[in-house]
A and B are shown apart, each in its own frame.
Chain A
Amino acid sequence: MSRILAVMEPAGAGWHRMSFEALAGALELARATGSEVTVCAPGSAQAAGEFASFDVSEVVALEHEALGAYAADAWVEALLQVIRGRQPEWVVLPHTYQTRDFAPALAARMDRTLMGDSTGFAMEDGAPVFERPMFQGKLVGRFVFETPGPNFVSFQAGAFRAAQAAGGSAPVHVFRPVLDGAAIRQRPEAPFREAAQAVDLSAAERIVAVGRGIQEEANLELARELASALGAELAASRPICDNGWLPMERQVGSSGQTVAPKLYVALGISGAIQHIVGMKGSGCIVAINRDPKAPIFEIADYALVGDLFEITPAIIEELRKGAG
């Protein structure tokens, strides 16, 4: 039976939540291709043991002190050794920032290309066709591998619902890679946060978020007025914070905060995947954008196509009318 290696990512004392989603993707790929899943979990046998009760055939606890603080070289070398030993047909990873840092190199070392950022797959002619957003989410690319296994795929957040334990008891094997400390060239320091976050957007019930469509810093006033009329916090997509128009702590998206308010109003946000992953769990999503094909409309409940500089003042006026 061919094998799928599902690589998990440690986070604190547990696992990055996207690990369980990637594992679900691996299990679905296993069903579609008649394969079995081996979990590769960097960490102790005890920690890796958590995966033994999932519907998998084996858990490999990848143990080495050099895998504690993340360094790309150590991860690439350790995983190469697991892959050479286990000979999987597929290697599945969560599409985290850490995966983005090492997985392209891991695949390249085996003369393969990683299918990154995948939102899912469909079987066509007996082979999986993997999908991912392209052109800022305006189109979906459907890709096939021309190379024999092992082939590498990383699944985007939300591509699969997190896998649940299935009451199994797969064997847990400890694998200790041979790592030469001198060959690990990245010297990482401890992760840190810039400053205590003054704004906790994840607690906000309503959020008004602005994107490039706001055009100028001075126009933020309009978004502030709408936020105040709605009783909402003001947030932004990355480019607005890059420009310094709003502090980074107000950024929603993969590099900022993940939010799920009752109401999310996207003002002039096109909806690149990096933004969407941070807000798609919102209860009610309103999108205002002049481009009817903007990807934000695919996840919106209410879509207002038009000029935000005309629509926003009209909404503010309407809200004030109601407040009488």
Chain B
Amino acid sequence: MKILVALKQVPARDLPVVADSARTWIDESGLTYEMNEPDAYALEAALRLKEAEGGEVIAVSCGPERVQAVLREALAKGADRAIHIAVDGEAARGTDPSATARLLEMAAREEQPELILTGLQSDDTGSGQTGVILAARLGWPHATLVVAIEPSAGEVRVKRELEAGWFQHVTLPLPAVLTVQSGISRLRYATLMGIKKAKTKEIRRVEAPAEALAAGLRLKQLAEPRRQRETQFLEGSPAEQAAQLVEKLRFEARVL
């Protein structure tokens, strides 16, 4: 089975993220980047399908030169080749998921995979829409929040997560787009051999056409989250913080 996996590079999730002085984007100085976690699960699912069924896994990512790091990581974990759709500046921010979907659509039309996998959402802009828009643009069926994938002749049966602990199986004809939920399976680490091999694998670079980048939804401003409760910050050493907390839980909040 030929599988295209769309991967996004996002700011490392443990680092603080602050708005730039114009408040139109984040301050990118000093940021480090990593593979978007749900996309890592999509990649893992693709590699497992390839191991079970044979075929090819092609990783694709849109963004500036630095996104080649996640493609290299995908190659080291077992992807066969990669496509870097080069886009820089404001267009690379992915604030309108339709623009990203249009770029991925180009790669999909060229590669004609049977299955496209991607994470259900990104840890940075968090639209959670790119895979679904991509499917609509290709005219392919899709399923979101996928936690298990069973391919058979010409179709795929997936297990979808619903709300509040419910699940559902859905069968779709191929080709199809699936957006994968985190936790679908244990993630593998790249082996030393894999990392070595990745250096010989191809990352094909294509330029994003300008017309693909028009946005219908524009990020006007980044704001600080509003405080929803009167938060008391308890200061001091850990012991002092603990003493204040227990006192307040007993006599102020009265929950003990």
Interface residues in chain A, defined as those with a beta carbon under 8 Å from any beta carbon in chain B:
71-73, 76, 96-97, 100-102, 104-105, 107-109, 111-117, 129, 131-147, 185-194, 197, 206, 230, 238-239, 241-243, 248-249, 254-258, 262-263, 280, 283-286, 291, 293, 295, 297-307, 310-311, 313-315, 317-319, 322
**Known pairs A136-B126, A303-B234, A322-B246 / 18 extra A-B pairs, C-beta < 8 Å:** A73-B141, A101-B145, A108-B136, A112-B216, A134-B125, A139-B222, A139-B225, A144-B218, A146-B217, A147-B217, A186-B171, A190-B168, A257-B164, A263-B249, A297-B233, A306-B241, A311-B238, A318-B245
Kindly identify which residue among A73, A108, A114, A136 contacts B137, using a CB–CB cutoff of 8 Å. A108
Question: Is the Cβ of A314 less than 8 Å from the Cβ of B183?
Answer: no
Determine if A186 and B168 form an interchain contact, defined as CB atoms under 8 angstroms apart: no
Say which residue of B26, B216, B217 sits within 8 Å of A139 (CB atoms). Answer: B26
A113-B98, A140-B222, A283-B255 known; A185 vs B141 contact (CB < 8 Å) = yes
A108 partner residues in chain B, CB cutoff 8 A? 98, 101, 132-133, 136-137
Q: Which residue of A lies closest to B163 (CB)?
A: A97
A-binding segment of B9-17, B52-60, B192-200? B9-17
The answer on a CB contact under 8 Å between A322 and B171 is no
Query: Interface residues of B: mostly helix, strand, loop or mixed?
Result: mixed
Give 20 pairs: A residue, B residue, CB < 8 Å, sorted on A: A102-B132, A114-B129, A135-B124, A139-B222, A139-B224, A143-B217, A145-B216, A147-B216, A191-B168, A192-B167, A192-B168, A194-B167, A197-B165, A255-B145, A263-B255, A286-B245, A295-B225, A301-B253, A304-B234, A314-B243
Q: B220, A191: Cβ atoms under 8 Å? A: no
Evaluate contact between B162 and A191: CB separation under 8 angstroms.
yes
Q: Which of B88-106 contact A (CB under 8 A)?
A: 95-98, 101
Do A314 and B222 contact each other (CB < 8 Å), given the known contacts A139-B19, A298-B228?
Answer: no
Contacts of B17 in A (CB 8 A): 135-136, 138-139
Q: Which residues of B contact A (CB under 8 A)?
A: 11, 13, 16-19, 26, 95-98, 101, 123-129, 132-133, 135-137, 141-145, 161-173, 181-183, 215-234, 238-239, 241-243, 245-246, 248-250, 253, 255-256
Number of A-B contacts (CB under 8 A): 258
Question: Cβ of A255 and Cβ of B218 under 8 Å apart?
Answer: no
Alpha-carbon separation in the docked complex, A76 to B135 (Å): 13
Closest Cβ of chain B to A51, distance in Å, is: 22
Report the minimum CB–CB distance from A66 to chain B (whole Å).
14
Given A303-B233, A311-B238, A194 and B165 touching (CB < 8 A)?
yes
**Which secondary structure dominates where chain A touches chain B?**
mixed
Given A134-B126, A241-B183, A284-B253, residue A297 in contact with residue B217 (CB < 8 A): no
- Which 6 interchain pairs have the tightest Cβ spacing? A242-B183, A314-B242, A104-B129, A108-B136, A105-B136, A185-B141
| B167 nearest CB neighbor, chain A only | A192
The chain B residue sitting closest to A189, CB to CB, is B169
CA distance A190 to B160 in the complex (A): 11
Name the A residues within 8 Å of B232 (CB-CB). 301-303
Complex Cα spacing A230 to B255, Å: 10
Chain A nearest CB, measured from B57 CB (Å): 22
When the two chains form their complex, are residues A256 and B165 in contact, meaning their CB atoms are under 8 A apart? yes
User: Do B132 and A101 have beta carbons less than 8 Å apart?
Assistant: yes
**Minimal beta-carbon separation of A282 from chain B (angstroms):** 10
Is the CB–CB distance between A300 and B126 below 8 Å? no
User: Given A139-B225, A146-B218, A263-B249, do A284 and B19 touch, yes or no (CB 8 Å)?
Assistant: no
Question: Which of B13, B96, B162 contacts A97, CB < 8 Å?
Answer: B162
CB distance from B58 to the nearest CB of A (A): 23
Q: Tell me the bound Cα distance from A307 to B13 in angstroms.
A: 18
Closest B residue by C-beta to A112: B216
A141 to B145, CA, bound (A): 24
Q: Are A142 and B222 in contact (CB under 8 A)?
A: yes
Q: Within the assembled complex, what's the spacing in Å between the Cα atoms of A138 and B168?
A: 32
Question: Do residues A141 and B95 form an inter-chain contact, with CB atoms below 8 A?
Answer: yes
CB contact between A109 and one of B136, B170, B181 (< 8 Å): that residue: B136
* Contact call A144/B230, Cβ cutoff below 8 A: no
Do residues A262 and B123 form an inter-chain contact, with CB atoms below 8 A? no
A295 to chain B, nearest CB (A): 6
- Cβ-defined contact, B165 with A314, below 8 A: no
Cα-based distance from A117 to B137 in the complex (angstroms):
22
A281 → chain B closest CB, angstroms: 11
Is B219 a contact partner of A101 (Cβ separation < 8 A)?
no
Q: Assuming A112-B216, A241-B183, A318-B243, is B162 touching A302 (CB within 8 A)?
A: no
CA distance A293 to B181 in the complex (A): 26
Report which of B124, B127, B161, B245 forms a contact with A116, defined as CB distance below 8 A: B127
